């Protein structure tokens, strides 16, 4: 059986199981009460209650979510077009759309809680322990699953596109960075930056360990600021958020680069990236992209997949024939070849 056929088979089995669960739930809810009391207005010995509505089909449930799915499909299309076009203006449009749509409109971002849910589902599947709070029901959450699948698949194929374009909080901090004067920024020394980048992995490990030990998830609001888009938080949380945003003015993408446990999880996943950023032979000697990268994802002329969010900066440089040493040297080689051909004896 091919991989695609296997996926379709598993998906079909999942849908059938979910449909059966919905049907059983509706049947169990239709049973008469145990106290034996006849409903008001009913003749003795007879039950003239209206027949229960039939359980909704998958198509019924899907049609009710069609607008959400269509909106996400439009947003995902914008994300991918901006990614392939490598346009600065289009990328900014995508970041604004992310803040407005994924943030304030949907208030829907991937979270460390989803890591907990995936872990719970996995442990339940192999019958290890008893965990609650898994992933949301598929038939009632089609847009969310489209969003989650899109995020995971793009991460495996191209890297952390989610962090660079889809995450509303990451988009917000990038927009802050775009409008604030460059002279306000503090440049983090490379050695310190490399060490600080491991903090988010420590937070991820600690969060997963705490969840496994306590089965509690409410602490996530203290390690993720994504709750801000719901506009519901305690005074302490709002103070923490204000400090983080002010700090992000001076240290670009501070939370994403050093503190985000979800970014750490996606960073680990991005080590599987299929379509990596191309490199020229001259890249082994040139530091132009390393100096340009605002995420500290190029170290000693090597791209660190776990840190790269596919922000386009280095890829635009690769294609810039007026700045990239590869193209400048290529132009010189062609010029020498033309001069040689012209001066050769006929």
- Divide the 346 residues of the chain into consecutive groups of 10 and give the mean pLDDT of each group: 43 41 36 41 42 73 90 97 94 96 93 90 73 75 93 96 96 93 88 93 96 91 95 95 95 95 95 91 87 88 92 89 89 82 69
DSSP code at position 273: -
Q: What is the pTM of this model?
A: 0.78
Measured CA to CA, the distance from residue 65 to residue 139 in angstroms comes to: 9
What pLDDT score was predicted for residue 103? 95
What pLDDT score was predicted for residue 131? 60
CA distances from 286 to 11, 280, 295, 299 (A): 48, 10, 18, 12
What pLDDT score was predicted for residue 306? 93
């Amino acid at each position: 059986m091919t991989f695609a056929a296997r996926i379709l088979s598993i998906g079909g089995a999942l849908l059938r199981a979910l449909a059966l669960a919905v049907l059983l739930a509706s049947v169990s809810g239709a049973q008469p009460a145990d106290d034996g009391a006849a409903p008001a207005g009913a003749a003795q010995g007879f039950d003239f209650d209206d027949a229960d509505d039939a359980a909704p089909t998958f198509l019924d449930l899907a049609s009710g979510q069609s607008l959400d799915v269509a909106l996400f499909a439009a947003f995902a299309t914008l994300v991918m077009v901006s990614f392939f076009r490598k346009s600065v203006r289009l990328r900014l449009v995508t970041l604004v759309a992310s803040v407005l749509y994924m943030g304030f409109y949907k208030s829907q971002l991937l979270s460390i809680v989803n890591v907990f849910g995936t872990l719970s589902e996995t442990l339940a599947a192999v019958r290890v322990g008893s965990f609650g709070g898994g992933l949301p029901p598929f038939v009632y959450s089609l847009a969310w699953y489209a969003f989650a699948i899109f995020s995971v698949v793009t991460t495996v194929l191209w890297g952390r596109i989610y962090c660079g374009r889809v995450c509303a909080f990451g988009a917000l901090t990038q927009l802050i960075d775009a409008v604030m004067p460059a002279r306000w920024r503090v440049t983090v020394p490379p050695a310190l930056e490399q060490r600080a980048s491991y903090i988010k992995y420590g937070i991820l490990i600690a969060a997963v360990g705490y969840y496994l030990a306590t089965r509690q998830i409410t602490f996530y609001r203290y390690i993720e600021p994504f709750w801000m888009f719901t506009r519901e938080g305690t005074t302490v949380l709002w103070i923490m958020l204000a400090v983080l945003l002010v700090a992000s003015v001076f240290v670009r993408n501070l939370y994403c680069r050093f503190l985000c446990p979800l970014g750490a999880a996606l960073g680990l996943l991005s080590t599987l990236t299929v379509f990596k950023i191309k490199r020229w032979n001259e890249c082994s000697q040139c530091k132009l992209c390393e100096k340009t990268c605002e995420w500290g994802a190029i170290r000693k002329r090597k791209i660190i997949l776990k840190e790269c969010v596919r922000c386009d900066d280095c890829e635009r440089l690769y294609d810039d024939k007026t700045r990239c040493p590869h193209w400048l040297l290529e132009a010189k080689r062609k010029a020498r070849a033309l001069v040689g051909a012209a001066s050769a004896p006929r």
